[in-house]
Amino acid sequence: ALLELKDDGVSCHITNSIIYGNGPMMNTKSPASDDVTLRRCLVGADGSDDDTFIDMLWNSDPMFITDTDRYIFDYRVGPGSPAEGAADASLTLPEAVRDFYGRERGSTPDLGAYQH
């Protein structure tokens, strides 16, 4: 994600990410600003692509690896997740060629912060 504060407002570009959870879903209506985009992201909400939401995976479950009985919440995606290998490698920032565990993302990265 890239967030910039500008004199005339906020510029926000979110790519190769997962937006999913138990809270209220995001508003999938395009914002008034032309400088907000979500590209190649998985979301748990219904919607459709437009100039703001580009190449999205709509109404999807990332299938995170969790064991709620033991309070284990591992935010890597599990086998068979639609986020597995779904990122666009050309959109990966140089700072994000490795995930939070230090694993290289390679040519077919997963969406989100962690590589499966």
pLDDT in tens, 50-107: 998 999 999 999 999 888 899 888 888 989 999 999 999 998 888 888 888 888 988 9
pTM greater than 0.85: no
Count of structural domains, the chain: 1
Specify if 50 maps to a domain.
Answer: yes
Specify if 52 maps to a domain.
Answer: yes
Specify if 114 maps to a domain.
Answer: no
Q: At residue 63, what is the residue type?
A: M
**Which position has the higher pLDDT, 22 or 107?**
107
Domain containing 15 equals 2-96
